[in-house]
Amino acid sequence: MLNRIRQNMNKIIRFKDIVQIDETYVSVKRKKGQHSQGRSLKTKVPVVGFRSGSMVNTFITKDATKKTLLPLIKEIVEKGSTVVTDEWGAYNGLNRHGYTHERVNHSHGQYVNKSGFSTNGIENFWSHLKRMIFGIYRKVSAKHLYWYCAECAYRYNTRSLKDGERLILFVSEAITTLTYKETTHQEMFVF
């Protein structure tokens, strides 16, 4: 039932104007005997986040390479927008694809660049997501991570609503028929 509720919280948002993009790695339940080390994709799943204004959207990806991120950015962000990222190499060359690219160089202690751009908004969202996963649910499976991300994004995007208003919005937008397979078929959401 919770997966069905989370599926109804999933809203794909297209962004324009100023868009912050960042990636994070979320630890998932390990199989017996599996060990975690650094950014190992055996026990961590890459999640890419987009934030514009007060709205966020997340996507599970197989990795955080340019080959994976560029098609996702082209799909979600309108050309002509200003894209703000950190110095991760996968974001190199966004200017050649119709975007104004602003970088924030965290490795040099920079959190707001000379033009006044930052990725603080999307990084703030990551703190919400990780507090929700590790503080409430403790551990999640990779199979269901997408839906936990959708739930967190929905809560974040509707944070200015009162609980009753959020419930009315949720019910008015709800999908009426979902099968269990639809709530567990993660591959269709992985870029």
Q: Which pLDDT belongs to residue 188?
A: 43
Q: Which pLDDT belongs to residue 35?
A: 55
The runs of H, that is alpha helices, within the chain are 2-9, 66-76, 120-132, 142-157, 163-173, 180-184
The model's pTM is: 0.80
Q: Which residues pair with 44 in a beta bridge?
A: 27
Q: Cα separation of 108 and 86, whole Å?
A: 11
State in words which class domain 2-189 has. Answer: alpha beta
> Which amino acid is it at 7?
Q
DSSP H or E stretch at residue 84: strand 82-85
Domain segments of the chain as ranges: 2-189
Mean pLDDT by 10 residues, the chain (191 residues): 56 85 85 55 86 93 93 94 95 94 92 93 94 79 83 87 77 64 53 54
